[in-house]
Amino acid sequence: EIRHANGIRTRYGHLSRFAAGVHVGQRIRQEQTIGYVGSTGLSTGPHLHYEFLVNGRPTNPQRKDAGAGEPVPAKLKSSFDTVRAQLLAELEPTGVPAATPALGAAAAARED
């Protein structure tokens, strides 16, 4: 669990391990690696269980203004905007992909 300002705490579950040098009571800085994604307990695959709490209450982090981070340096802004647009496009729904002939042929071969 990481304690932030203004009663905010974040929790990170299912980590495979903590990053080297990270220990209880240590101050964490923005962009510092704190751990590595894992698959612990009864999880079905590697993932991060992330919790965002305000004054001890679970809160949707997308609805909480956590303050501004460091701005993108002017010389990197164009590249940043390009990559950002590409990543946002990947999040758009694309519909159900059509079956490919290769899949149909493989299925037919199994029926023989």
CA neighbours closer than 13 Å in the CB half-sphere of residue 107: 6
What is the predicted pLDDT for the residue at 94? Answer: 75
Q: Which fold has domain 1-66?
A: Glucose Permease (Domain IIA) (2.70.70)
Interacting residues of 50 by C-beta distance below 8 A, sequence separation 6+ = 10, 11, 12, 13, 61
Task: Report pLDDT digits (tens) over 20-62.
Answer: 999 999 999 888 999 999 998 888 899 999 999 999 999 998 8
What is the predicted pLDDT for the residue at 79? Answer: 96
Whether the predicted model's global pTM rises above the 0.85 cut: no
What is the predicted pLDDT for the residue at 112? Answer: 47
